[in-house]
Amino acid sequence: MRWHYLVIALSIGLLASGSDGCSAEQAREPEAEKEVTTEYMLATLNAGRWIAAADITIARFRSLLDQLSAKFVEDRQQIADMAVMARKLLREDNGIDESLLNIMEGLNTVFYSDLKNQTFAEYSAAYGALRSSGQTHDEVIERLKAAAATIRLH
């Protein structure tokens, strides 16, 4: 639970400070949002600015969180936290600018729900390590798919 508050506080701080190409003037609080959901925060971080409550990427993040939490042992919030951290580390440590949506969409295609006891933490860590070694997003996803296929055979 502490990570949940840390990620939201960090996210709001980054948005207000103008990170991700967003100036402080552009960073406005959501107009019609009564409760800031995890998928809303992911969509906001992905865009680098506050977005409308009806923005289509909110629904896409909601769907991704549902799909990923069905495949991996972690819950929706843990998956969101790890995706945000993976993106942050790629940017800060390696200068790699990859969208949250692209990272999560890619990891969602690695395997279907036929593999049990898989952790998003392991796959997101492998994603980060392989990207840090100079591989492209598509190359990394293909390598992770091949690894998952090998696991399926054993």
With left for phi above 0 and alpha for psi between -120 and 50, is residue 34 left, alpha or beta?
alpha
pLDDT digits (tens, 9 = 90+) for 26-52: 444 555 445 799 999 999 999 999 999
Q: What is the pTM of this model?
A: 0.76
**How confident is the model over 105-121, as a mean pLDDT?**
88
Q: What is the pLDDT of residues 55-103, one digit of tens each?
A: 999 999 999 999 999 999 999 999 999 999 999 999 999 999 999 999 9
Residue 115: its pLDDT value, please? Answer: 79
Comparing C-alpha atoms, which of 67, 74, 58, 79 is closest to residue 111?
A: 67
CA distance 28 to 51: 9
Nearest CA to 22 among 31, 37, 12, 7?
A: 12
Q: What is the pLDDT of residues 3-21, one digit of tens each?
A: 344 334 434 443 443 444 4
